[in-house]
């Protein structure tokens, strides 16, 4: 008697899957991916890609999201005391791109992929030459320079 055919997995609606991630709370924290996307939006609002950047702004936004997820994992609800970021802003023209970056970061984190090497802090600097430690933490990644409405056009991540 021949073996029964293997059942086919149902097709996954990629858009619906990504939208379902928006309510996910990475690192068992209190913040959803949508909240983290709002934080990334507030931190990078008005920034755009430039011809001299070393990577796309979308990747740098993802690194900020990874830093937030790593901070939540390390400090839980006390993350703002140790690695505070701007208040979540879920509106404006940059929110969708920031939400997508946070979604990608959450999916990567679930797969144990972290382009920051576990960084838990981030800040913006005015030039790529500034690679000093931050609060005793070594530079992990440096992204930029981007066009920015402020002098701060480089995104650095820091960690152990």
Separation CA 118–CA 109 (nearest Å)? 10
Mean pLDDT, rounded, for 17-30: 94
In a domain, 7, yes or no: no
The two beta strands, 138-143 and 121-125, are unpaired
Number of domains in the chain: 1
- Tokens representing 27 are 């690192």
In a domain, 78, yes or no: yes
pTM as predicted: 0.91
In a domain, 136, yes or no: no
pLDDT of residue 46: 97
In a domain, 75, yes or no: yes
Mean pLDDT, rounded, for 32-43: 98
First to last CA, the chain: 60
Separation CA 64–CA 38 (nearest Å)? 11
In a domain, 134, yes or no: no
Reported as a pLDDT band with limits 50, 70 and 90, residue 42 is: very high
pLDDT at 146 over 80: yes
In a domain, 154, yes or no: no
pLDDT at 113 over 90: yes
DSSP letters along the chain, please? -PPPPPPPPPPP-HHHHHHHHTT--GGG-S--HHHHHHHHHHHHTT-B--TT-SS-HHHHHHHHHHHHHHHHHHHGGGHHHHH--PPP---STTHHHHHHHHHHHHHHHHTT--TTSS--EEEEES-TT----BTTBEEEEEE---B-SSS--EEEEEE-
- Tokens representing 147 are 């066009």
Separation CA 72–CA 64 (nearest Å)? 12
100 lies in which domain range? 17-120
In a domain, 12, yes or no: no
In a domain, 96, yes or no: yes
pLDDT of residue 6: 73
- Tokens representing 23 are 């309510």
- Yes or no: say if 152 and 60 are a contact pair by the CB < 8 Å rule: no
């Amino acid at each position: 008697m021949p073996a029964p055919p293997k059942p086919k997995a149902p097709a996954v609606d990629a858009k619906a899957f990504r939208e379902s991630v928006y309510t996910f709370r990475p690192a068992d924290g209190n913040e959803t991916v949508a909240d983290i996307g709002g934080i990334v939006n507030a931190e990078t609002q008005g920034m755009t890609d430039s011809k001299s950047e070393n990577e796309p702004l979308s990747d740098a936004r993802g690194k900020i999201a990874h830093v937030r997820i790593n901070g939540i994992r390390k400090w839980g609800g006390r993350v703002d005391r140790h690695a505070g970021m701007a208040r979540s802003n879920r509106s404006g023209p940059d929110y969708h791109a920031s939400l997508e970056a946070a979604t990608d970061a959450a999916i990567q984190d679930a797969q144990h992929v972290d382009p920051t090497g576990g960084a838990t802090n981030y800040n913006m600097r005015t030039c790529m030459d500034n690679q000093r430690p931050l609060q005793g933490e070594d530079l992990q990644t440096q992204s930029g320079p981007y066009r920015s409405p402020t002098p701060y056009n480089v995104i650095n991540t820091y960690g152990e």
